[in-house]
Amino acid sequence: MRSCKDGRRNFELETQNYEEALTYAQQARQAGQFSYKIRRSEAEMMVGRILEGNHRQDAAAEEAFRAAIQELADTDRLAARIRAHELLGRHLLKKGKTQAGDEELDKARRLSHQAPLFSSSTISADNGNDEASKMN
């Protein structure tokens, strides 16, 4: 079950209230240290999105997306891994790092071919349809 802070964090991001959104995301990041991998990776993805949206700390946004990928590297959570690579790839493209961005998007595409066709579970750092209920 998602907390009220998840919704509040998403609201703050969507309304471009980046300071509040970042505060909530950093709290989620800290709480994630005591949680399971999916939650920790979600927190990293959200921090990356907020930093990217605020057009500041580009290096920190990239680091957050990479931290999410690293967190998920040894899991079978394909949807979450795909989402993390997509976010990093798009971020790199926005920064003009075309080759690196394309490589991340290619990783996401390759992972998507491994996903079972019948699976509808997805993860998104900005909605409640995720695999968070599947604990590692």
pLDDT (tens digit per residue) in 93-122: 999 999 999 999 999 999 999 866 544 444
| Residue 124 binned pLDDT confidence (cut-offs 50, 70, 90) | very low
Q: What is the residue range of 53's domain?
A: 4-114
CATH, residue 46 = 1.25.40.10
Tell me, yes or no, whether 41 lies in a domain. yes
- What does the pLDDT read at residue 123? 46
Tell me, yes or no, whether 135 lies in a domain. no
Closest CA to 123 of 61, 9, 44: 44
The more confidently predicted of residues 90 and 134 is: 90
- What does the pLDDT read at residue 135? 37
Query: Can you read off the two tokens belonging to residue 8?
Result: 């509040």
Closest CA to 68 of 104, 42, 33, 103: 42
Residue matched to tokens 């990239």: 62
Tell me, yes or no, whether 22 lies in a domain. yes
Total-model pTM: 0.66
How far lies 33's CA from each of 16, 42, 58, 102, in Å? 26, 12, 23, 31
Tell me, yes or no, whether 76 lies in a domain. yes
Tell me, yes or no, whether 49 lies in a domain. yes
Domain count, the chain: 1
